[in-house]
Amino acid sequence: MVADWLQSTATARVHSTLVSESRSVENNMIVLRVKLDCRVNTEDIAALNETLRKLTESKTKPATDVQNTKDLLLPDGSRYTGSILNGLPDGRGIKHFPDGGR
């Protein structure tokens, strides 16, 4: 859910200003550190919060076209036990790997 919200923030209008920048070498790696001052349009914040609310509701409500719990053998040899949505795992289940992992 957080990933969904973070992806939706990409649509927000953000104004950013470079405040400072530094470069150094640490452990044989070049390190670039930047400090930004970022401001998000307040109208976008309201829209993003509404998106988050809708995402939360959609994740907690059961889907209406979810089939009963089933075992599904996947092409990679793993087995999914759980709800199926449109013939595919909907994420509300457990994936069992051939090595016994889950």
pLDDT at 64: 47
Residue 6 DSSP SS3: helix
Q: What percent of the chain has pLDDT over 90?
A: 0
- The reply to whether 50 and 73 lie within a common domain is no
The H or E element that residue 58 is part of is helix 42-60
Structural domain boundaries enclosing 32: 1-61
pLDDT digits (tens, 9 = 90+) for 24-68: 998 888 888 888 887 777 777 777 778 777 777 765 555 444 456
- The reply to whether 39 and 89 lie within a common domain is no
Residue 91 CB contacts under 8 Å (≥ 6 apart), including other chains = 82
Angstrom distance (rounded) from CA 60 to CA 1: 11
